[in-house]
Amino acid sequence: MSSAERRPRPLREVVFVDGVRTPFGKAGPSGIYAQTRADDLVVRCIRELLRRNPSLPPERVDEVAIAATTQIGDQGLTIGRTAALLAGLPKSVPGFAIDRMCAGAMTAVTTTASGIAFGAYDVAIAGGVEHMGHHPMGEGVDPNPRFVSEQIVDGSALVMGSTAENLHDRFPHLTKERADAFALASQQKYAAALESGQIGPELVPVATRSAEAGWGLATVDEPPRPGTTLAGLATLKTPFRPHGHVTAGNAAGLNDGATGCLLAAEDVARELGLTIGMRLVGYGFAGVEPEVMGVGPIPSTEKAFASTGLGIADIGLFELNEAFAVQVLAFLDHYGIADDDERVNPWGGAIAVGHPLASSGVRLMTQLSRQFAQRPDVRYGLTAMCIGIGMGGTVIWENPNWSGARTEEVPA
């Protein structure tokens, strides 16, 4: 028996090296990915990360964590491992699947990043995929009847759109008019970012197949509606409640897509000559009443602030997932941030570009990393999202390009 003392494990800095995503598509038989496999979407992301970072030997990847909310069919079979094999990584590289509904990719990042900080990994790939055309939300799910019969949750807690209506009820000042205005701004900001070339460099072209149209190439996002107007938004139906507030215009759609990112210990990234896009500061996940799951990012952000010593005044950029406009508005109101604050989703959000559930967390991170490169005046940024069944997730990042200049403070 060895008498040697165990090796000490000092925590290491973890960096976000690079992030990519497929163009997002509309779910359904007419969507661009209707006849394209979900696992092939995430394989494209993994291959593109390796192509864009040629100084990384594939055998240096220690883990592949891929999230999917519905882990059956072409999103099943431990998709992190199978996607790694299909992407051509060495068979020695392990992988796993992970699920935290909308925050699947976010959790893939925080889980592997924690492993890197602990010293279990040097380099990891994390991401997510959701093909809602092949796997509609809730496919194969059998909720325990005790949830409702024992009044553990209200029946509306299991319908995401209904939870958004509940949020409007709880905070009447979050009106449909405010939600529609926020949704319109998301479309307009996305269109401006696309026109200026901010949206595009992170996209991975995907070969698509159609029995009717043959082969194609997906190069742009399918969901955005550039012709959106406030007048048009006001006429849309409220499918979750008669005379309600939530519509197809002020919520994210049903979408297909995949994301992937490369994480590494900072010293390893420098050793390999990899770009450092941003540095992980801390994160938090929190549970809330499932009936109002949209408030989840508020307590998760408070947990992230408590563990890092930061506060809302320290954050210079926000990437908030727009599952529903009202959910973002609740977050902004809580922190005294204006609906049109330029620091919030400067390139638009999920209402415009789409929300393929488990993949979206890495989209937020990828955009924040690219914004950091253009904003040396900003030191800290935040990515956050609400999560089904009553949760929230927040990750705080530091800009390695920070110049030391102070950013404008906001009310605490």
Q: Answer for the pair 253, 223: CB distance below 8 angstroms, yes or no.
A: yes
Handedness of CA 109, 113, 115, 120 (dihedral sign): positive
Question: Which residues, at least 6 apart from 10, have a Cβ–Cβ distance to it below 8 Å?
Answer: none
Handedness of CA 309, 314, 317, 321 (dihedral sign): positive
What's the token pair of residue 354? 């789409």
Percent of residues in the chain assigned helix, strand, coil, to nearest 5: 35, 20, 45
Q: How far apart are the first and last CA of the chain?
A: 57
The active-site residue, picked from 45, 102, 134, 261, is 102
Token pair 């947990």 is found at 303
Does 45 participate in catalysis according to the annotation?
Answer: no
Across-strand partners of 278? 16
DSSP code of residue 369: H
Distance CA 36, CA 173 (A): 43
The b/e string for 265-288 (b: 16+ C-beta within 10 A; e otherwise) is bbebbeebebbbbbbbbbbbbbeb
What's the token pair of residue 379? 């030191």
Does 261 participate in catalysis according to the annotation?
Answer: no
Catalytic residue ranges: 102, 355, 386
